[in-house]
A and B are shown apart, each in its own frame.
Chain A
Amino acid sequence: MTALLFSWALTLAGIMLAAAMGCAVYRMVRGPRAQDRILALDSFYASGMLLMLTFGIKSGTTLYFEAALVIALLGFAGTVALAKFLMRGEVIE
Chain B
Amino acid sequence: MIPIAELPGWAAFLVALLVLAGAALTLTGATGLLRLRTFYERVHAPTLGTTLGATLILAGSMLCFTVLQSRPVVHEVLILLFVSLTTPVTLMLLVRAALSRDIQEGRVSPPQPDKDRSS
Contact = CB atoms under 8 A, between A and B. Distances in A.
Nearest to A27: B33
Interface string B46-89: 10011001100110110011001000010110110011001101
Contacts, number: 179
B97 A13 contact: no
Contact of B46 (A6, A26, A43): A43
Say what secondary structure dominates the interface of chain B.
Answer: helix
A42 B23 contact: no
Q: Say which size band chain A's interface belongs to.
A: 35 or more
A27 B58 CA distance: 26
B70 to A, nearest CB: 14
B60 A6 contact: no
Interface of B: 1-5, 7, 9, 12-13, 15-16, 19-20, 22-24, 26-27, 29-31, 33-34, 39, 42-43, 45-46, 49-50, 53-54, 57-58, 60-61, 64-65, 68, 73, 75-76, 78-79, 82-83, 86-87, 89-91, 93-94, 96-98, 100-101
